Amino acid sequence: MQKSFYNFQNKKNRKSVLKQTHFKSAVLLFSFLSTLCVYALLRNKQSKLKIKMSDYNLNKNTFEKATFGAGCFWCTESIFMELKGVESVFPGYMGGKLKNPTYKEVCSSLSGHAEVVQITYDPSVIAYVELLEVFFLIHDPTTLNRQGADVGSQYRSVIFYHYPYQKEKVDTYTELLSKSGAFENKIVTEITEALEFYRAEKEHLNYYNLNKQQPYCKAIIQPKLEKFRKVFADKTK
The amino acid that residue 111 corresponds to is S
> Looking at the domain assignment, is residue 120 inside a domain?
yes
Distances (CA, A) of 105 to 67, 99, 101, 108, 126: 20, 11, 6, 5, 34
Cα 173 from Cα 178, distance rounded (Å): 9
User: How many angstroms from the chain centroid is the CA of residue 117?
Assistant: 10
- Residue 185 domain flag: yes
| Residue 193, CA atoms < 13 Å, CB-side half-sphere | 2
Per residue of the chain (237 residues), what is the pLDDT tens digit?
444 433 444 444 444 433 443 444 343 334 434 444 444 555 555 555 555 544 555 555 689 999 999 999 999 999 999 999 999 999 999 999 999 999 999 999 899 999 999 999 999 999 999 999 999 999 999 999 999 999 999 999 999 999 999 999 999 999 999 999 889 999 999 999 999 999 999 999 999 999 999 999 999 999 999 999 999 999 999
Query: Whole-angstrom Cα distance, residue 172 to residue 51?
Result: 9
Residue 9 lies in a domain: no
What confidence score (pLDDT) does residue 27 get? 37
What's the pLDDT score for residue 127?
95
pLDDT in tens, 204-233: 999 999 999 999 999 999 999 999 999 999
Catalytic site positions:
72
Residue 4 lies in a domain: no
Is residue 10 in some structural domain? no
* Strands 114-121 vs 157-161: parallel, antiparallel or unpaired: unpaired
Residues in the chain: 237
CA-to-CA dists, residue 39 to 109, 143, 177, 193, 198, angstroms: 30, 17, 14, 28, 31
Say if 123 falls within a structural domain. yes
**Residue 175: what pLDDT?**
94
Give residue 93's domain range.
49-231
CATH number, position 198 = 3.30.1060.10
For residue 119, the tally of other CB atoms under 10 A from its CB is 26
Whether pTM > 0.75 for this model: the answer is yes
Domains of the chain: total: 1
Q: For residue 201, tell me if it sits in a domain.
A: yes
Distance CA 174, CA 113 (A): 23
Helices (H) then strands (E): counts for the chain: 8, 8
Number of Cβ within a 10 Å radius of residue 184: 6
What Rg value do the Cα atoms of the chain yield, rounded? 21
Q: CA-to-CA distance for 131 and 6, rounded, in angstroms?
A: 61
Question: Which residues is 190 bridged to in the sheet?
Answer: 158
